Every structure is written in C-alpha cells, then in structure tokens.
C-alpha cells in the first residue's frame, strides 16, 4: 500500500486497494445480474448509484507520494469504506451517508484557488499547479469531530505553509480565511437552512504556518473523494474537524479575525479556535471521550486528548491564553 511505507502502521489496519476495487467490480456485476433477472426497472446505472454511491470522477486516481517525518500516530487506520461513507459535508446533506450519495455532482476539474486580501498581489492557482508545488507526503493524523467521534486517517498533502509562502502575504496579515465551493444548483442543502454559504473557516497565521497544518489532496494514496473535500482541503489535526475547510476555492489574508460558518451560526457551541479540549464540554454533550469509528463496539470509546494528542507540537501557540474562554 502507498500509505504503508511507515513502519509504525500495522498492515492489518490498511484496507487493500485491490480489495476495495474488487468490491466495486462485484457490485457492478451484481447490479447487472439484478437487471438481467428482470428486477431492474431503474436500470443498471441507477442501481449502481443506489448500491455504491458515487465518489467523484477522479476517485481511484493514485498520487505519487513520499514518506513524511510528520506522521504522528501508529494507531490502526480507519477503513477506506468508513472514511468515504461516514462524512460531515453539510452542503451535500446532514446525515452521515448523504455526502457519499450526493457529492458526485461536485465538479472538481477544472479547479482554481483564488488568493487575495493582504498579499503582495492577488493570484490564482490551478489545482494541477498546486499538486506539483512540492512533493506530496503521506501523513497519518487523528481526526476528532466536535460531535465526539474520531478516526485515524492517512492523508496526502504537504504543509500549508508551503502554499502560504507562494501567496506572499503582507506583514499585516494576521489571519487566513478559507472559502469553500458553493453552487446552489449542485449542493443539496442550501435553501433549507439559515447558514450563510459559502462555508467559511479561518486560522490565525501562526496556526496556518505550523508544519502540522496540511494542504490536503488525497487519502489512502489516492485523490480525495468528493465527499471528503475534493480536490483540495485543509487539515489541522489538533482542532475539531469542522475547522478543516473542504473543497477550497478562495483563500483570503486578513488583519482581523474572519467570520467562520459554525462560529457565526452558534457561537456558544463553536468557538473560533475549536482546539480539541476534553475539559471544555459542548453545551449539549461531553468532550471527555470520543467514539472511534470502525472499531468493535466494546473498543470504540476512547479518552479525548488535549489538542487531539498533538500538544507537544502545538501547545506553545496558545501560551498565556485562557483555553476555556478562547475555546
């Protein structure tokens, strides 16, 4: 396996790609058999979507990667099936299975990322140019959702700082804002909510420049499936997952804390920083433990770690801050 280069990743934890692809071939064959038997009023293509939700035209495209020294966990990886069928991507539905069913409509080529704000000059980066900016690295990170579930994900990308340096921000830029793709003709949950789209997230500049912050293009050695934020997203592993903006189309460098979607929507529940902190409960549930997706029921419950276990690397970013007030 591509991500199996790191010696601290047990091979039993990695879903073989040929097994996953064989499953897809089996489903296509099974669908054809159903149709041939006369139960196919929907047709083979429609039934294929029912049994195996689309994950984008580029799904399965391998990426050339190198081993990263910043892989930070030896825990068992979450399976590819769970990673691609248990998702938060509200633009494509609020239930965990809905992004896999609906995000196939997301057009990921051509794709550009616009950069503006407090920069030397505005720029536009093509996705292919971003992929070639520097070598893509395999990095295994814990992923902790504010809803108190977690995964262990083999991401592919490179440090966000590499991209930021290409953007040439001015010294007056104190924050960086990320805006996600939005088209009400494509997304499924636009007009039915009070959320102001497009999705917006942001980091302080020193957070964005930290080497663990990842500009992300893939997982399991292949391009990102649509429901996981294709074709490019952010991953900040010490923060709750909603801080890691998906399907990014614009990056803005600003001098003041930018508006962010969930902080604007419910500021009492979702702070701007949203660092993983077991001592700060969500108003509606505890954050002291988490449920690891994909493990047997008896083994799912884990103790939540401060900064999601990355405190040694990132705690210095918050020296002197009250992490209960700046949650």
Q: What is the pLDDT of residues 103-113, one digit of tens each?
A: 999 999 999 99
Q: What is the mean pLDDT of residues 202-215?
A: 98
The residue assigned the tokens 């536009």 is 124
- The answer to whether the bond into 110 is cis (omega within 30° of 0) is yes
Q: What is the mean pLDDT of residues 226-243?
A: 98
Going by CATH, does the domain composed of 3-318 fall within 2.60.120.40? Answer: no
Q: What is the mean pLDDT of residues 117-130?
A: 98
What is the pTM (predicted TM-score) of this model? 0.83
Confidence of residue 249 (pLDDT cuts 50, 70, 90): very high
72-98, pLDDT tens digit by residue?
888 999 999 999 999 999 999 999 999
d(CA 236, CA 205) in angstroms, rounded, equals 13
126-182, pLDDT tens digit by residue?
999 999 999 999 999 999 999 999 999 999 999 999 999 999 999 999 999 999 999
- Going from N- to C-terminal start, the domains of the chain cover 3-318
Assign 17 to helix, strand or coil: helix
Confidence of residue 60 (pLDDT cuts 50, 70, 90): confident
pLDDT of 7 over the 90 cut: no
d(CA 24, CA 219) in angstroms, rounded, equals 18
Distances (CA, A) of 267 to 90, 120, 231, 259, 286: 18, 33, 29, 11, 17
- Residue 119: phi and psi, rounded to 5, are -130, 165
């Amino acid at each position: 396996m591509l991500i199996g280069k790191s010696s601290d990743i047990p091979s039993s934890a990695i879903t073989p790609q040929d097994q996953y692809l064989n499953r897809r071939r089996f489903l296509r064959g099974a669908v054809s058999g159903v149709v041939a038997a006369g139960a196919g009023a929907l047709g083979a293509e429609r039934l294929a979507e029912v049994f195996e939700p689309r994950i984008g035209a580029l799904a399965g495209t391998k990426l050339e990667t190198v081993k990263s020294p910043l892989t930070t966990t030896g825990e068992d990886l979450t399976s590819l099936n769970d990673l691609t069928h248990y998702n938060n991507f509200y633009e494509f539905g609020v239930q965990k299975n809905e992004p896999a069913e609906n995000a196939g409509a997301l057009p990921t080529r051509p794709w550009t990322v616009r950069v503006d704000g407090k920069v030397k000059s505005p720029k536009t980066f093509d996705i292919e140019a971003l992929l070639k900016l520097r070598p893509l690295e395999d990095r295994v990170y814990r992923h902790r959702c504010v809803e108190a579930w977690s995964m262990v994900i083999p991401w592919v990308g490179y440090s966000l700082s590499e991209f930021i340096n290409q953007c040439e921000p001015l010294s007056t830029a104190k924050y960086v804002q990320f805006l996600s793709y939005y088209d009400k003709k494509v997304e499924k949950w636009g007009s039915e909510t009070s959320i102001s789209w497009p999705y917006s997230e942001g980091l302080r500049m020193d957070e964005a420049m930290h080497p663990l912050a990842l500009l992300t293009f893939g997982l399991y050695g292949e391009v990102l499936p649509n429901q996981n934020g294709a074709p490019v997203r952010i991953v900040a592993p010490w923060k709750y997952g909603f801080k890691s903006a998906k399907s990014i189309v614009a990056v803005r460098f600003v001098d003041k804390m930018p508006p962010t979607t969930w902080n604007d929507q419910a500021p009492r529940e979702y702070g701007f920083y949203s660092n993983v902190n077991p001592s700060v409960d969500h108003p509606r549930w505890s954050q002291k433990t988490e449920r690891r997706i994909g493990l047997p029921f008896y083994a799912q419950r884990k103790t939540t770690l401060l900064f999601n276990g990355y405190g040694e690397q990132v705690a210095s970013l918050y020296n002197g801050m009250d992490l209960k007030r700046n949650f």
